[in-house]
Amino acid sequence: MESFFSLKGKVIIITGATGLLGSQHAEVIAEAGGNPVLLDLDQKKCDDLALNLRSKYQVDSVGYKVDITNEDAIVETLKVIKTRFNSIYALINNAANNPKVEDSSEKAFSRLENFPLSVWNADLAVGLTGSYLCAKHFGNLISQNENGGTILNISSDLGIIAPDQRLYRKKGLPEELQPVKPVTYSVVKAGLIGLTRYLATYWADKNVRCNAICPGGVENNQNEEFLNEVRSRIPLGRMAKKDEYKGLVLFLLSESASYINGSIISADGGRSVW
């Protein structure tokens, strides 16, 4: 079985690596013998996670502080990674701004009528521009491998369905103050699906596969009222646990997925089929 899913010695870049799901991607890569390269905004968090992975799994993990909206910073980081590892096998475009709509009731900034252009620009800069820049530079290096490699984009169930804004309603607030899931989330996550299809063909002749996963929401201390509403919209009747995407991520990175390219794979408890 090991040969199906081994990532032994493979260097895999994860953006937003110290976040809730990024750290899970990093963990499964290390468990499978790969070398996770952690990119995020906080050097200490990157160092702590890399140290933990090195000591727990005896792999070569390292973390770099890099803002993926900054092309110069990406190019610099690429140089450092190239010096240390020579080549990269894979990239996971995982970083995103995750606005907490639940906290927005005072200003109702999340509503489309009020949504600030600055927030639109900032959200697209991380989720879309950052993914394009990482694909441009890290993907280019991956395409130079003799046997190619792979890119995995982390989209969302909201990349393929509209947010159900009734989920975010707060009792007692007038209509114009009701919080909503920001428009940028849908746009970024749908955009990543376009990027996935583009990249799936772009370096296909170099054996670089590109796929996207569309995870459903992870249970993470949301209030009980929200949880009950969400659960009622999911055929499996619950949100995901944070480690429930590890198997899918490992599979798509591994040789077992060698013929899977351009796929948009839902992992949402059935949410998007209802």
Ligand X SMILES: NC(=O)c1ccc[n+]([C@@H]2O[C@H](COP(=O)([O-])OP(=O)(O)OC[C@H]3O[C@@H](n4cnc5c(N)ncnc54)[C@H](O)[C@@H]3O)[C@@H](O)[C@H]2O)c1
Residues binding ligand X (CB under 6 A): 15-16, 18-22, 39-41, 67-69, 94-98, 126, 130, 154, 156, 215, 217-218
Residue nearest to ligand X (CB): 19
Nearer to ligand X, 130 or 179 (CB): 130
Q: In the 8-state DSSP scheme, what is residue 225? A: H
What's the min distance (Å) between Cβ of 237 and ligand X?
17
What's the min distance (Å) between Cβ of 139 and ligand X?
17
Nearer to ligand X, 96 or 248 (CB): 96
Nearer to ligand X, 10 or 271 (CB): 271
Nearer to ligand X, 154 or 180 (CB): 154
Q: In the 8-state DSSP scheme, what is residue 137? A: I
- The number of residues in the chain equals 274
Radius of gyration of the chain (CA): 19
Q: In the 8-state DSSP scheme, what is residue 166? A: G
What's the min distance (Å) between Cβ of 18 and ligand X?
5
Q: Got the DSSP string for 87-131?
A: ---EEEE-------GGG-TTTTTTSTTT--HHHHHHHHIIIIIHH
Nearer to ligand X, 77 or 148 (CB): 77
Between the CA atoms of 240, 241, 242 and 247, what dihedral angle is there, to the nearest 10 degrees?
-80
| Amino acid letter, 174 | P
What's the min distance (Å) between Cβ of 103 and ligand X?
14
CA distance 93 to 170: 33
Q: Please name the residue that has the structure tokens 């013998």.
A: 33
What's the min distance (Å) between Cβ of 69 and ligand X?
5
Query: Is-contact 101 181, C-beta < 8 A?
Result: yes
